Structure 1
Amino acid sequence: MQIRDFFPVSTNTSFKESCYGALGALIGLVATELLCQWWLGVSPHWLIAPMGASAVLLFAAPASPLAQPWSILVGNGVSALMGVLAASWIPDPALAAGGAVMLAIAAMFLTRSLHPPGGAVALTAVIGGEGVTSLGMGYVLIPVFVNSILLLAMALLYNRLLGRRYPNTGRAAPHPHQTRDPQPSERLATQASDIDFALNKHGELLDISRADLRDLLQEAQHHALRGRVGTVLVQDVMSRDLVVAGPEDPALTAWRRLSRHRIKALPVVNGAGELAGIITLHDLLVDAALAEPRAAGALASLTVADLMTREVQTARRYQPLYDLVAAFSDGGLHHMPVVEGSQLVGIITQSDMVAALFNLALRPDPGTDLP
């Protein structure tokens, strides 16, 4: 142990997030108190002190596993129950206080609802004075449960308005192809079983969810990879000799070009060489309106403009190649036009990405001595 161990560590929280947390606690507690008076007609005295600690978690640290809805509702509820039981069973105030917190922690662990303010909720049941002890089991419902559910409602609304992910369930985003497979970027990444192994070996409780811990680890790995491949630009990989279509071309012409060149997409450019859209083999084969195969002969009366996608995700020629990895893996893109201004200058495909990343993987690390 060293003297520096007693100094504060960085929380990596921005000034804006700190202000949001403080303002949220103000709004949440004031609203909870006013709603208690309006809804139940109870005195502001029944906004119990432990709600201040709950507000810190719900508004300043909403990503914490200790701040999730189950934790505040069940954690505060079972803690209140344990506090009332300890106050009833143990005549000595000091033993009752310690016993209340001990039982509360045990109950929260058993119900997987650990919520640090629960310790204060249990303690308040013992030392809160005659006004609290006279409530008996009623203390669990009013004020504890009512305070908790109203404060939680404020947190859900406030965090949603700020665009925060709350509740922070840690569930993965649905697969774009509606299958149970993990996203492509996750298949060789650190798995949940690896995180569980490390957490079990560590043993102590960490105030971070498994999903957030995995995301942080992957972000650190991506940052390291970005430093290695960030010098490779889109123009280093893209195709420049392009096969294109015009908006007024017959759809059958687009079909023949795709077939002749054995490709799956054609950028669509206007007379000035500007990107107007993209047409794919899927556009030609499937009737999007009916979600069925296109009828034989239907292409004869259609033009490229009738079938092309007009809103196209594009890349810039001087953009780092790393920026496109997510779009081609989890995003499911197969081809992306490259533009300079509005002019089409190239196209990059999944095949280009795979070849480029494979070649990068074969490069020795900087500073490595080759045999």
Structure 2
Amino acid sequence: MPYKAFLPALPPTHRKECLLGALGAALGLIGTELLCQFLLGIRPHWLIAPMGASAVLLFAAPASPLAQPWSLIVGNTLSALVGVSCAILIDNVVLSSGVAVMMAIALMLLTRSLHPPGGAVALSAVIGGPEISALAFQYVLAPVAINSALLLLIALLFNRLAGRRYPNYTPLSSPHHTSDLLPSQRVGTREEDIAYALKQQEQLLDISPQDLQHVLQDAQRHAQEQNLSTLRCADVMSRSIVSINAQNSGSDAWNKLAYHRVQALPVVDSAEKLVGIVTLHDLMVDPHTQQARSTLEMNKPLADLMTAAVHTAAPQQALLELVPLFSDGGLHHLPIIANGELVGMITQSDIVAVLALYAAHNLNEMT
């Protein structure tokens, strides 16, 4: 067996995460103690030892599937129920301990609620001493279920204040408010590919399918960046810019869009400085009411119709930095600014053309 198998398997942890994990666990356990002992009057078993292990997961590894609310509540509660049952039905402590942990693990796996501290919860029900034994099935509710619920509430609050995502679930959101996947998730490694790969693993992997997909996408993006990192916005942008003045009307913009067969125009002031962008959507739909604009509104100056908050980029900016803005951010057009002046435009078509050429080049190299 290689010696590296005995070296740390976890990647290095950021100092901020180290501090948050340690501080959160302390606050979680102290908070659970105070709530149980002083508000609920639960004594003397206001806090059981396995909660220390649960705190490690909820605060130091909140992204782990083993730390999610379902695993914490269901895993600990089922384990407590199994532990008490084994303590009552099996007189031999050694046999009872082994069977309790065995059954707890089996039930947690079957209910997809695996929570490592659950094994300690089941064992504590058997060897916790006369005070635990006297509680019998009350042990399941108080302290186990109540401890777990209070620790979860504190973890939800702490992780939210710390800017962490907990529970670790990210619903897919489209900028177009549809059920379609984001463009970056429609090709390459898909959700069903991840699910298939995880089913092929003989051992349980402590990572959610969503996180695993994000890791793979980041790795693929990094690999692409190594090959495309030399491309800059200036290499692909349009330099013959069709723009319009902010004092022109909506009708002027409509005619210009139709003539040049484009869907957006950068809007400039008298000094040719970018002040906004106007699209077909801006001319057709009022962004405040979401209603179709009337014909009379087309006579308004573009300063009243355009979108003033505009994403921009610099000529020497890496082209790949813009891909997420176009693919998942919903942008279609991006003005390029140098020294305050409008020097170019990049559209989705430009991005698609570059990526298509890159893909074709890779295929040629493979063949």
TM more than 0.5: yes
In the other structure, the counterpart of 1:21 is 21
- Equivalent in the alignment of 1:167: 167
- What is the alpha-carbon distance in structure 2 between the residues aligned to residue 338 and residue 104 of structure 1? 60
The answer for the alignment partner of 1:144 in structure 2 is 144
- Report how far residue 64 of structure 1 moved: 0.5
Contact kept? 1:97, 1:127, Cα under 8 Å: yes
Matched letter for residue 167 of structure 1: P
Partner of 1:306: 304
Confirm or deny: 8 A CA contact 2:37 2:46 kept in the other structure: no
Residue 158, structure 1, aligned to residue 158, structure 2: yes
Aligned twin of 2:353: 355
Alignment-derived partner of residue 125 in structure 2: 125
CA distance in 2, matches of 1:364, 1:2: 36
Q: 1:3 to 1:334 in 2, by over 3 A?
A: closer
Q: Which secondary structure state, in structure 2, belongs to the residue aligned with residue 276 of structure 1?
A: strand
C-alpha displacement at 1:154, in angstroms? 0.7
Cα offset, 1:204, TM superposition: 0.7
Contact 2:312 2:334 in 1 (8 A): yes
1:213 matched to 2:212? The reply is yes
Tell me the equivalent position of 2:259.
Answer: 260
- Give the match for residue 194 of structure 1: 193
TM-score (norm. length: structure 2): 0.96
Q: Match of 1:111, as an amino acid?
A: T
8 Å contact 1:65–1:208 — kept in the other structure? yes
Corresponding position: 1:245 with 2:244: yes
Deviation of the 1:3 alpha carbon: 2.9
Q: Which residue of 1 aligns with 2:290?
A: 291
Could you tell me which residue of structure 1 aligns to residue 176 of structure 2?
A: 177
1:337 aligns to what SS in structure 2?
strand
Q: Hey, what's the Cα distance between the residues in 1 that align with 2:111 and 2:292?
A: 53
Shift of 1:118: 0.3
Query: Do 1:33 and 1:44's aligned partners in 2 also have CA atoms closer than 8 Å?
Result: no
Output the amino acid matched with 1:334. Answer: H
Question: What CA deviation, in whole Å up to 9, does each residue of 1:253-298 have, x standing for no partner?
Answer: 2222212211111111112222100111221222334423322343
Equivalence for 2:12 = 12
Look up the equivalent residue of 1:182 and give its one-letter code: L
Q: Does structure 1 residue 52 correspond to structure 2 residue 52?
A: yes
**Does residue 229 of the first structure (1) align with residue 238 of the second (2)?**
no
TM-score (norm: length of structure 1): 0.95
- What's the offset of the Cα at 1:216? 0.6
**Do residues 107 (structure 1) and 120 (structure 2) align?**
no
2:331 match? 333
Distance 2:353 2:359 in 1: 10
AA at the equivalent of 1:106: A
CA distance in 2, matches of 1:149, 1:325: 42
2:135 is paired with a residue whose SS is: coil
Residues 185-235 of structure 1: per-residue CA shift (max 9 Å, x gap): 111121222112222222210111111111111110111011111110001
Tell me how far apart the structure 1 counterparts of residues 257 and 185 of structure 2 sit (CA, whole Å): 32
Once the two structures are TM-superposed, the CA of residue 54 in structure 1 deviates from its matched residue by: 0.1
Q: CA deviation at 1:45?
A: 4.2
Instruction: Indicate the residue corresponding to 1:95 in structure 2.
Output: 95
Cα RMSD over matched residues? Answer: 1.8
Residues 47-77 of structure 1 show CA distances to partners (whole Å, capped at 9, x for unaligned) of: 1000000000000000000000011101000
Cα distance per residue 1:304-341 (max 9 Å; x no partner): 11101110111111111101111111112110111124
Paired amino acid for 1:284: L
**For residues 263 and 36 of structure 1, do their structure 2 counterparts lie closer, same or farther at Cα, with a shift above 3 Å needed?**
same
In structure 2, the gaps of 5 or more residues are none
Distance 1:248 1:122, change over 3 A: same
In 2, are the aligned partners of 1:100 and 1:123 still within 8 Å (CA)? Answer: yes
Post-superposition offset of 1:27: 0.5
**Retained in 2: the 8 A contact 1:77–1:145?**
yes
Q: What is the percent sequence identity of the aligned residues? A: 54
Secondary structure at the residue paired with 2:51?
A: helix
Alpha-carbon distance in 1 for matches of 2:68, 2:10 = 23
> How far apart are the structure 2 equivalents of 1:21 and 1:11?
15
Mapped partners of 1:138, 1:10: distance in 2: 38
Q: Is the 8 A contact 1:229 1:322 kept in 2?
A: yes
Q: Distance in 2 between matches of 1:57 and 1:289?
A: 45
Please identify, of 154-163 and 268-277, the stretch whose mean Cα deviation from structure 2 is larger. 268-277
In 2: Cα distance, 1:303 partner to 1:280 partner:
14
Measure how far apart 1:369 and its partner are: 10
Contact 2:334 2:346 survives alignment (8 Å): yes
1:360 and 1:348 mapped to 2: Cα distance? Answer: 17
